[in-house]
């Protein structure tokens, strides 16, 4: 009997232990204490070395120190659009046409001067500035410069945290940068990337033939509202002012952003603060980039410099023996390889400033000094119509084809000469798509007035020049239907 009781007690003990274990582990009825809870692995997967920690710290320090120097700008501006046009089928008269927008700005002086984009404050009727410490001020527009998309505004405040304005001339592609601003109404946003390219121009962001486009391209995300904000390097120096984005089918960032170099911003801002406008000097030339075919056609060792395609009547260059076909290689000792290189440099100079040009002409290097003049809004290029050519009407208007070039031309009629205001040339009647002529920018309706600096009177003369230059290249001067002239290099196949 005792033995039976012993075994019964033992079974009960074992069942109790097992059931207790199930309660604790399987059914979670007994919880561990807060102090006993351990989440995640005990150590990070990578131990950062001193260099990596320092690199990360640079971003942190820049964000901390530069963010207070960037402001949010809210603008109410006049607009040509009827604010009710999407609601009603009829027009409201005598109703205010205004809209609200926002952007960013950079504090450039402790007493309240702020630089931003012209397009941020364009047509503004009121401007409000919010600082990073949540203080709000009403601002006045001091001055604007639409040709560079730069504006300066002013708030009545003192002891502000002014940004350190760096040197954009020493930027390198691949350099780390940070964009700081207020995109999509999200205040004090910081993004990072690298300098993707320098000297980006001809983007069509400024709708003016005298507009200066010489942008820093970056893959640091820039979105609407970032305009006027800062692009900074890892020392916290502002090296550009954010201005635009590259996008397809959306208004938000999907590729690249563009910033105005801070050296240009500083120059324009000083003029706007001092005078309310920019007293800009002009060299008085129309210019274009030099490509490989153009360089070969004039005997230049490689594509470099910018070619003068036209001279502005009574402009600065017209007084100093500068001619269409000249290639400007340097200005004040600085290499010029793109049209916007020259534009941005001149844009930073006032009227009356003398600049020194190194020029390639007819296989020789020459030098010229030019004193910049203010622009006359009515001035025009005068290199197209020259009245010393034969005025004979051409009776043979048959088409001459150059199949290897993908080009067809014919002689001009007297009426066409009158319409184009020229006395010589041949009409381009057809350009084959994807041909040599097409690749070099020739188009139907252009008139070729010169080839290798010879005035072209008829198609036979042009045919002889092409024949003599097989395997080489020739420089063409063409005029479009609007009377604009430019040079085009054309390689001639064997």
**Domain 168-275 fold:** Thrombin, subunit H (2.40.10)
pLDDT at 375: 75
pLDDT at 89: 44
Domain ranges of the chain: 66-155, 168-275, 285-371, 400-491
Catalytic, out of 119, 145, 344, 408: 119
pLDDT at 121: 94
The residue-averaged pLDDT of 470-479 equals 91
- Find, among 277, 252, 297, the residue nearest to 451 by Cα: 297
Calpha distance 50→45 (Å, rounded): 16
φ/ψ of residue 201, rounded to 5 = -135, 180
Between 262-275 and 339-347, two packed helices, what is the crossing angle to 10 degrees?
30
Class of domain 285-371: mainly beta
Calpha distance 4→139 (Å, rounded): 99
pLDDT at 9: 64
- Average pLDDT, rounded, for the chain: 84
Show Cβ contacts of residue 99 under 8 Å, excluding neighbours closer than 6 positions.
76, 77, 79, 81, 83
Calpha distance 121→149 (Å, rounded): 10
pLDDT at 388: 39
CA 390 vs CA 176, 386, 393, 394: distances in Å: 60, 10, 9, 11
Surface-to-core class of residue 21, CB atoms within 10 Å of its CB (0-12 exposed, 13-18 middle, 19+ buried)? exposed
Query: Does the active-site annotation cover 275?
Result: no
Calpha distance 417→412 (Å, rounded): 7
Res 348 pLDDT > 70:
yes
pLDDT at 451: 92
151 within 8 A of 272, measured Cβ to Cβ: yes
DSSP 8-state assignment for residue 25: I
Q: What percent of the chain has pLDDT over 90?
A: 53
pLDDT tens digits along 162-193: 999 999 989 999 999 999 998 877 888 899 99
pLDDT at 88: 43
φ/ψ of residue 61, rounded to 5 = -65, -40
Calpha distance 442→406 (Å, rounded): 10
Query: Does the active-site annotation cover 291?
Result: no
Question: Whose structure tokens read 């020459």?
Answer: 366
Check for a shared fold between 168-275 and 400-491: no
- Find, among 190, 186, 252, 198, the residue nearest to 220 by Cα: 190
Calpha distance 370→377 (Å, rounded): 20
Catalytic, out of 145, 149, 326, 383: 149
Joined tokens for residue 82: 């009827």
The residue-averaged pLDDT of 376-398 equals 49
pLDDT tens digits along 254-302: 568 899 999 999 999 999 999 998 888 889 998 999 999 999 999 999 9
Class of domain 400-491: mainly beta
Residue 77 confidence class, pLDDT cut points 50, 70, 90: confident
Query: Does the active-site annotation cover 119?
Result: yes
Residue 10 confidence class, pLDDT cut points 50, 70, 90: low
pLDDT tens digits along 406-449: 999 999 988 888 888 899 999 999 999 999 999 998 999 999 99
Res 249 pLDDT > 90:
no
The residue-averaged pLDDT of 329-342 equals 91
Residue 92 confidence class, pLDDT cut points 50, 70, 90: very low
Show Cβ contacts of residue 147 under 8 Å, excluding neighbours closer than 6 positions.
206, 208, 210, 211, 212, 278, 280, 347
400 within 8 A of 464, measured Cβ to Cβ: no
Residue 309 gets the label, from left (phi > 0), alpha (psi -120 to 50) or beta, of alpha
pTM of the model: 0.76
Considering the segment(s) 66-155 as one domain, its CATH architecture is: Beta Barrel (2.40)
């Amino acid at each position: 009997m005792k033995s039976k009781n012993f075994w019964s007690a033992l079974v009960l003990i074992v069942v109790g232990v097992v059931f207790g274990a199930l309660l604790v582990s399987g059914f979670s009825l007994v919880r561990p204490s807060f102090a006993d809870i351990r989440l995640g692995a005990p150590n990070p997967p990578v131990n950062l070395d001193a260099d990596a920690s320092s690199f990360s710290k640079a971003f942190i320090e820049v964000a901390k120190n530069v963010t207070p120097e960037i402001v949010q700008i809210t603008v109410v501006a006049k607009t040509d659009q009827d604010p009710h046009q999407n609601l009603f089928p009829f027009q409201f008269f005598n109703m205010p046409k205004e809209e609200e927008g926002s952007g960013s700005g950079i504090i450039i002086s402790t007493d309240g001067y702020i630089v931003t984009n012209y397009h941020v404050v364009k047509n503004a009727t009121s401007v409000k500035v919010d600082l990073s410490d949540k203080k709000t001020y009403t601002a006045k527009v001091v001055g604007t410069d639409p040709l560079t998309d730069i504006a300066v505004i002013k708030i009545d405040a003192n002891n502000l945290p002014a940004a350190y304005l760096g040197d954009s001339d020493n930027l390198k592609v691949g350099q780390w940068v940070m964009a700081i601003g207020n995109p999509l109404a999200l205040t004090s946003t910081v993004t990072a990337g690298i300098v993707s390219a320098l000297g980006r121009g001809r983007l069509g962001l400024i709708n003016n033939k005298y507009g200066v486009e010489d942008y820093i391209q970056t893959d640091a995300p820039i979105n609407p509202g970032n305009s006027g904000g800062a692009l900074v390097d890892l020392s916290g120096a502002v090296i550009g002012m954010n201005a635009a984005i590259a996008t397809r089918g959306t208004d938000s960032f999907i590729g690249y952003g563009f910033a105005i170099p801070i050296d240009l911003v500083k120059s324009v801002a000083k003029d706007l603060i001092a005078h309310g406008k920019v007293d800009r000097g002009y060299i008085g030339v129309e210019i274009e980039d030099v490509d490989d075919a153009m360089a070969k056609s004039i005997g230049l060792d490689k594509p470099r410099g910018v070619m003068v395609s036209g001279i502005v009547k009574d402009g600065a260059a017209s007084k100093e023996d500068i001619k269409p076909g000249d290639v400007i290689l340097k200005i004040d000792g600085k290499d010029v390889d793109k049209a916007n290189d020259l534009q941005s440099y001149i844009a930073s100079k006032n009227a009356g400033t003398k600049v020194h040009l190194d020029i390639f002409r007819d296989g020789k290097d020459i030098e010229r000094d030019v004193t910049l003049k203010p622009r006359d809004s009515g001035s025009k290029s005068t290199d197209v119509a020259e009245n010393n050519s034969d005025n004979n009407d051409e009776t043979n208007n048959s088409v001459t084809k150059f199949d290897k070039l993908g080009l067809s031309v014919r002689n001009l009629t007297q009426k066409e000469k009158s319409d184009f205001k020229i006395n010589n040339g041949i009409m381009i009647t057809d350009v084959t798509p994807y041909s040599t002529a097409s690749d070099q920018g020739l188009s139907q309706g252009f008139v070729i007035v010169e080839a290798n600096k010879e005035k072209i009177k008829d198609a036979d003369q042009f045919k002889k020049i092409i024949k003599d230059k097989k395997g080489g290249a020739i420089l063409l001067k063409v005029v479009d239907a609007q009377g604009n002239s430019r040079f085009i290099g054309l390689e001639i196949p064997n």
